[in-house]
Each structure stands twice: as structure tokens, then as C-alpha cells.
Structure 1
């Protein structure tokens, strides 16, 4: 059973696709409680509930609350701390694959981009491996990043889903994966658990966002 670490709840299609396969042990790392508005405690609880809807048990969810990893556009995150947290998670859970944001971070949020930088530093600056079965060579930990899109594609999820189904696409599965959500409704229910953020414009975002329906994952390389 491969063990995967997730760093964000933008990955609904990925999480539900992997859960459907039933061969992955998924762990989620949220690098902040989201306390920019003083609602960190509530948002932490909401994260656990949302992950439960996405079939990730609470025991597999780690919401980090650290003074150097506070939520906000003006907060610069400590890359070495992110690396340290990833190293600990990999050691504790024998993580084999890490899924995270790409360098733009979907919305350009500096916290998202910092997570990407931290994952990249962990994977390629430290040359991390996991212990394989006795007598075989160690395996390199894989990193996959969620592709950001332009504004039009970002908010045309249902239409892009139709286009993807109708279009024949040649995919190099060694470097790129398209994951179609087997249950968009479940993703929407999961997002609605974030009640402190469930305002009208976020409801519209969830309905029309491609990240409710499709994830495009690109393999990270050094």
C-alpha cells in the first residue's frame, strides 16, 4: 500500500479518485490553521470534518499551528521549517509520494507558493529516499504538483470536464496525470464543511472551479 502525503484541500478529485482505488494510505498536512481572521481553532476543526467527508480519517490529518507558519498574504513562511515538518511526516508514516501546489499555487497565494518551495527543497536539495524492502535499493520519494491554470479555465470546470471527456488526449503517465472526480457532489459537501469561509462567492467558486471536477498533476523534477 503506497502512502501519500497531501498538503491541501484543493485536491478533491485526486483524493476521491485514490480513495476509490482503495490501495493508498493518505495523510494530509495543512501547514497552517488559517488564523488570519482569528478563526484558527474553528478552521482547524472544519479541516478535520472536511477530510472525513473525503474519506481521510482524523488520525491521518495534521494541521500545523506554528508561529512561523501563520496564514496571510504578508506572512513569509520559513522554508527550512516546512522541510523539517515534511522530513518528520515521511519518517513517521513512511511516505512515498508527496502531492502539493505548483510554483504559482493556484491563486498566487504566497503561503501556497511557500509550500511548493518547501516540498521542492525537501525532495531535491536533500535527495530524500524511503527505505524499501530488505535487500533492495532505497526508493526516491516522488513529488507531484497540482497544475495552476489561467483565469478562464480556472472557473470553467464543468465545461472543461465535458471537453476532456470528449477529447482524446495522449498522456505520458510518467510525467502527467488527469484525475476526474468520481463524485463532484462529495467534494462540494466537503468544502461546505469549512463553514467559517462558506460565503456566497466561495460557493460559486466551488460550483464552477475546475478543481472541483478535475486535477492535473505534473511530476516534479529537480
Structure 2
């Protein structure tokens, strides 16, 4: 009797074991099906947005800032391609007079003299004339992720360029600096300082480049629907146009290590830029968050 009972218990356990694995496999099969369906629908949405809103819209009205003379402020040579490529490309195409202020020569690895020439070569590819490039070589603004640049110094350099060039639109990093590099963020804080100290020219409209989470950052083309929904000012490049930004980035030969090749392939910033117009009120809210 005892033997029969043990046998019955083993048979029951075995049937429960089989039932557990059958339900687990069914769950994973359904989960995979739902994820695949969601992914297919999302790709379909990307294609629809690309075809309906991005590909067909007239080039000169797509995401236009209505800017005549623009100053793009970056921290290092290659920032203009890695992060601002679509904006610079489209502004040049729309006929804006685009100027670039680069606040360091990128001498972190002792290649400052090489990176200087690479900057000029990359800007030629993007459409910025040589005379519109200003590269700062100041010992107080060294390319180093561990050094905080003095905000008043950066603000003074930006102010001088804005007034000298009579700029109507300024484009630069937001507080996150896209990659959380402290030199990038220093540019934003310099702009914030200019607003707070009321030395920002009144006729100058300021836009910052949106920093996004790491998932969106490497979605590339697939971030297009989110960019259209979440941002009103956006620059998107078609496949043929994005190749020009890629060529410009590859002019920075000293920086093209293996992970930057991956960045060029997958980063949304090579094909999409979303911008946000900021004012003194926005700056005060940002600074409150920091406090």
C-alpha cells in the first residue's frame, strides 16, 4: 500500500512538472509573439512617419528655425558632427549664415594640432565656410572630462561672438550635454549665466539640443516617431543626406576608434536633432532642479 502511494505521488509530481513547463513555454511563446508584433508595428509607424512627414516635406520648411545668422557653440572638435550634424546640414541648406564657435582644440590626448585641421575639414563637408569657424585655445578651457570650465569665461567668449557677428539664433548643448560630459554642460551653464546676468542679446533666440536617454540615443532612425511627438523643432536627414554627416565625422580620423564607428552607425544624433527654445524662465527652472 505504501509503495502504491509513493508511486502515485511521483506520478502526480511528474504531471505537475510537465504542466509547469508547458505553461512556461506557452507564456514565453505568447510574450515573444506580442513583442514581435509590437516591434513590427513600431517599424511600420517609423516608415509611415518617414514617408509622410520627413521624406515628402519641402526641404526648406522642414523644422525651420527661421534663422538668418546662427552661432553653433560646441566644446570640442567633432562635437559639430557627432551631435549637431543634422542641424548644421539643414541650416546651411536653408540658406542660413552658420558660424561655429569651438571652445577648445581637443588636446586631451595631445592631438590638438591634428584635431584643429580635422575640424576645418569636417566643417567644409558640412557646409560651414572656413571664415565662419572660431576655435578657442585657452589654457582655462582644457579638454578634460574632470575639469569644470569657468562659466564667466565661457559666457564672455560666447557674448563676444554674438555681438561681433550680430547673431539672431544661438544653438548649443542643454544641461545634460548629450553625453554628460562636463565640458558640454559648461556651455549650457554659460548661456544660463548670460540670461541671469542679462547680457544675452535681446534679439538672439536660444535653442538647446535635447539630451535623451541611452535607449533613444542609440535607436537611430527608429527614434523618429518619438522625436516627432515629443519635439516641435526637429531636423531630420534622409538616408542620402545623412551620408554627408557621416563623411564629415570620418574627417576626424584621430577620433575614429572602434566605438565611434558603432556610434556613427546607431546614434540618432547622426540623423535626428530635436531642439528646445529656452528663455530666462526655463533657465531658472533648470537651475532650481540643480539646487
Q: Could you say which TM-score interval applies, normalised by the shorter chain? A: 0.7 to 0.9
1:192 correspondence with 2:250? yes
1:28 Cα offset (Å): 0.3
Cα offsets for 1:29-76 (capped at 9, x unmatched): 111111010001111111111111000011101111100000011112
Rounded to whole Å, the distance in 1 between the matches of 2:155 and 2:229 is: 36
Whether the 8 Å contact between 1:14 and 1:181 is mirrored in structure 2 is no
* Alignment partner, residue 98 of structure 1: 170
1:20 Cα offset (Å): 1.6
* Alignment partner, residue 188 of structure 2: 116
* Alignment partner, residue 235 of structure 2: 179
Give the structure-1-normalised TM-score: 0.87
Q: What stretches of structure 1 move > 4 A for 4+ residues in a row? A: none
1:36 correspondence with 2:108? yes
Which aligned pairs between 1:158-173 and structure 2 lie closer than 5 A?
Answer: 158-161=221-224, 163=225, 169=229
SS of residue matched to 2:105: coil
Q: Which has the higher contact order (CA 8 A, sep 6+)?
A: 1
Rounded to whole Å, the distance in 1 between the matches of 2:233 and 2:69 is: 18
SS of residue matched to 1:106: coil
Rounded to whole Å, the distance in 2 between the matches of 1:189 and 1:61 is: 19
Whether the 8 Å contact between 1:30 and 1:64 is mirrored in structure 2 is yes
> Which residue of 83, 86, 96 corresponds with 2:155?
83
> Which residue of 214, 221, 224 corresponds with 1:151?
214
| 70-79 vs 105-114, which moves further | 70-79
Rounded to whole Å, the distance in 2 between the matches of 1:41 and 1:122 is: 31
Rounded to whole Å, the distance in 1 between the matches of 2:164 and 2:259 is: 38
SS of residue matched to 1:70: coil
Rounded to whole Å, the distance in 2 between the matches of 1:96 and 1:88 is: 14
Instruction: Give the number of equivalent residue pairs.
Output: 205
Cα offsets for 1:178-211 (capped at 9, x unmatched): 1102411011000001110011110110111000
Structure with max Cα Rg: 2
Cα offsets for 1:125-183 (capped at 9, x unmatched): 22432xxxxxxxxx43111000000011000112223x369xx7486xxxx40110241
More strand by share: 1
Rounded to whole Å, the distance in 1 between the matches of 2:274 and 2:132 is: 24
Whether the 8 Å contact between 1:33 and 1:63 is mirrored in structure 2 is yes
1:60 correspondence with 2:136? no
Whether the 8 Å contact between 1:4 and 1:95 is mirrored in structure 2 is yes
Aligned-pair Cα RMSD in Å: 1.7
In structure 1, stretches of 5+ residues that fail to align are 130-138
Whether the 8 Å contact between 2:107 and 2:142 is mirrored in structure 1 is yes
SS of residue matched to 1:121: helix
1:119 Cα offset (Å): 1.6
